[in-house]
Every structure is written in structure tokens, then in C-alpha cells.
């Protein structure tokens, strides 16, 4: 199945990659900004628990959307590998591996988001003080951010590798490649800043991720609307 996707006609592969990449961006914004950003209150376990409990359906939808767009990301990885492997086979394979590892890390971290639902509704914890249960739910929800940051380190490497390949290619604009390299660097700096100095990470976020949005949105739209220059394909 993966070999058939990778061997798809370049123009068709580009259109599919662009469409799915847009779906990933939209899904990411929905799950992160409109669900978790609205329900998880930094520094306030009680408010976070109350929000999740009162909006369980929305919280579960955010989880499902996140899992769905990670599935799309696997397909996009294979499609981009198929488009760019003739530019640099080794680098294209490295990009594919980096993104698949990042997706696996992020997907496994999603389990942390299910923990608050289990904790808040677990009859075995009824005897515990509400503050303890709320703290456990809050800690699980916040721990996901660390796993997400780990996944973005690998994704940042993927962006740098893909950007380098695009910049070297003759069938996609060099500017798109340079923007993707910048996006990858921003993802990596943002993640390590959060690991090494949370205070610095808080100062950088969300501004450091704006180049990432510009780069990925530009690439997705170009692939969907313009595709590749078939005359320049190797």
C-alpha cells in the first residue's frame, strides 16, 4: 500500500499531499487552540477539571481529531518521500523516518489526554479529596505537552530535511524550501527551550511558531493549487 502511494503520479501526489496537509493544519489548530487551549487552564487544576467534566464531548472530539490528523500525517510523509526521493534518496528517507518517529511519539503521548477522563469519572477515586483528583487530571493533561514537544523535535528535523530537498529541487519554489528549513529550526528551538528553560519557552511561545504556520500553510497551498512543475521533474 505504501509503495503504491509513493509511486503515485507526481501531480496527483502533490495535490493529495497539499489537501491532507491543509487538513492536518486545520485539525491541529482545532485540537490545540479551540479544544485544549479553551479547556485546560494553566495553573488551575480545579478550573481545568471542571471544564473537561462539563465539556467531555468536545474534549473527546479534540482527541479524535488529533488522532485522525496524525493518520493523515503518515500518508503525507509517504507522498512527500515519493515526490522528493529522486532529489536526494538518502535525505528523503531520513525525512520519512524522522516524521514517522515524531508521529509515533506524539500518538503515544495522546494517551495522557485520556487519563483525565478516566480519573475524573473513576468510582475508585471517590474517597479521595477533590483537590487530589483534580491535580491528577491536570497533571496528565499537562504532561501531554511534554510528549508533544518531544514529537516536534523529530518533526522539526523532518521540516529541515524536506526544506533542503525542496530548495534543491527544480520543480518546487526554492523559497518554500527555505521557509520549511526555518520552520524546522523554530520547532526544535521551541521544544528545547521548553525542556531546558520553561520560563524562556513561555516567552518565545507562540511567536516562535508563527514562521512554522506560514511555511507549512504556504507549502500545503502550493501543492494543492499549483502542484509541481512537471517539466522540471527528474
Mean pLDDT for the chain overall: 89
- Confidence band for 156, pLDDT divided at 50, 70 and 90: very high
pTM recorded for the entire structure: 0.89
Average pLDDT over residues 19-25: 96
What is the C-alpha to C-alpha distance for residues 82 and 93, in angstroms, rounded to an integer?
10
Amino acid at each position: 500500500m505504501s509503495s503504491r502511494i509513493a509511486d503515485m503520479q507526481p501531480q496527483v501526489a502533490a495535490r493529495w499531499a497539499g489537501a491532507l496537509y491543509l487538513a492536518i493544519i486545520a485539525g491541529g489548530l482545532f485540537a490545540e487552540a479551540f479544544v485544549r487551549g479553551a479547556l485546560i487552564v494553566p495553573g488551575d487544576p480545579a478550573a481545568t477539571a471542571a471544564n473537561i467534566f462539563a465539556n467531555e464531548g468536545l474534549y473527546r472530539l479534540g482527541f479524535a481529531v488529533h488522532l485522525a490528523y496524525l493518520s493523515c500525517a503518515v500518508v503525507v510523509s509517504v507522498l512527500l518521500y515519493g515526490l522528493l526521493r529522486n532529489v536526494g534518496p538518502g535525505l528523503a528517507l531520513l525525512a520519512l523516518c524522522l516524521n514517522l518517529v515524531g508521529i509515533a511519539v506524539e500518538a503515544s503521548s495522546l494517551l495522557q489526554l485520556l487519563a483525565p477522563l478516566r480519573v475524573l469519572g473513576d468510582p475508585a477515586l471517590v474517597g479521595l479529596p477533590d483537590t487530589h483528583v483534580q491535580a491528577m487530571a491536570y497533571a496528565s493533561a499537562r504532561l501531554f505537552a511534554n510528549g508533544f514537544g518531544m514529537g516536534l523535535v523529530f518533526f522539526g528535523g523532518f521540516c529541515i530535511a524536506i526544506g533542503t530537498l525542496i530548495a534543491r529541487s527544480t520543480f518546487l519554489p526554492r523559497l518554500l524550501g527555505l521557509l520549511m528549513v526555518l520552520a524546522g529550526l523554530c520547532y526544535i528551538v521551541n521544544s528545547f527551550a521548553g525542556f531546558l528553560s520553561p520560563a524562556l519557552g513561555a516567552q518565545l511561545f507562540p511567536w516562535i511558531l508563527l514562521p512554522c504556520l506560514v511555511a507549512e500553510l504556504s507549502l500545503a497551498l502550493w501543492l494543492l493549487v499549483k502542484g509541481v512543475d512537471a517539466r522540471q521533474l527528474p
